[in-house]
């Protein structure tokens, strides 16, 4: 996430990052369920209400890059190249995120810690599923708007749901690959191969719609 230009926003941004980093460290050391908001506030040297001003829920501190990820998806669809379909645009986005070493497409010891922390917490797993569903709605709305259709267009929601399923499977399998091999490049290749394979099926399923 880029740093805001004005002083007040920079200060707020720095406070938010400090809270998220303190929370992340504590969650990984002790597990999400065993860390309190008061402990996070103390570690970040801020008040309890300051924490809640930045993060309404404890799990929001763990998934602190969620909004950044949403904006990346929105921008990719808003600024897609002429003649490139929404589905193909998002396939290319996956490749770009890997090439740019974006935090959303990292398969490393650090990202493995992140995944394992989620796996140990029912609360975080539930929030991860909710985020996936929210992203599907976001993608569906952006696709429909780009095609001049109503945001409730069933075809857009089908495309977005299949796309999120593809990316979810690709992420899970890539992390499993890294867990087994400890090889980031192999994990990245597994991720992109599954995204590409899923996109082929998605294009076939959505033939005849404006999303292909």
Residue the block writes with tokens 């267009």: 153
Q: pLDDT tens digit string along 125-142?
A: 999 999 999 999 999 999
Q: What is the pLDDT of residue 4?
A: 60
- At residue 101, what are phi and psi to the nearest 5 degrees? 55, 45
Q: pLDDT tens digit string along 75-106?
A: 999 999 999 999 999 999 999 999 999 988 99
Q: pLDDT tens digit string along 152-188?
A: 999 999 999 999 999 999 999 999 999 999 999 999 9
Q: List the single range of 4-8, 43-47, 93-97, 125-129 with lowest mean pLDDT.
A: 4-8
- What does the pLDDT average to over 147-152? 95
Enter the pTM of the model: 0.88
C-alpha angle 93-123-195 in degrees, rounded to nearest 5: 20
Quick one: how far is CA 96 from the chain centroid?
14
How far is Cα 26 from Cα 39, in angstroms, rounded to an integer? Answer: 9
Q: pLDDT tens digit string along 152-162?
A: 999 999 999 99
How far is Cα 152 from Cα 141, in angstroms, rounded to an integer? Answer: 7
């Amino acid at each position: 996430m880029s740093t805001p230009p004005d002083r007040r926003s920079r200060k707020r941004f720095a406070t938010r990052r400090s809270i998220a980093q303190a929370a992340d460290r504590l969650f990984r050391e002790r597990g999400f369920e065993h860390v309190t908001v008061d402990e996070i506030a103390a570690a970040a040297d801020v008040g309890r209400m300051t924490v809640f001003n930045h993060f309404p829920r404890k799990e929001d501190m763990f998934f602190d890059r969620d909004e950044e990820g949403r904006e990346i998806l929105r921008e990719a669809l808003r600024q897609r190249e002429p003649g490139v379909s929404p589905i193909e645009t998002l396939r290319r986005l996956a490749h770009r995120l890997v090439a740019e070493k974006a935090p959303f497409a990292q398969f490393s010891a650090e990202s493995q810690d992140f995944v394992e922390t989620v796996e140990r917490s029912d609360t975080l797993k539930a929030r991860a599923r909710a985020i996936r569903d929210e992203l599907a709605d976001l993608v569906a709305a952006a696709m429909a708007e780009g095609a001049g259709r109503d945001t409730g267009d069933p075809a857009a929601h089908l495309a977005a749901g299949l796309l999120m399923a593809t990316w979810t499977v690709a992420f899970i399998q890539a992390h499993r690959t890294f867990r087994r091999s400890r090889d980031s490049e192999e994990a990245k290749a597994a991720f992109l191969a599954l995204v590409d394979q899923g996109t082929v099926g998605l294009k076939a399923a959505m033939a005849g719609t404006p999303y292909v």
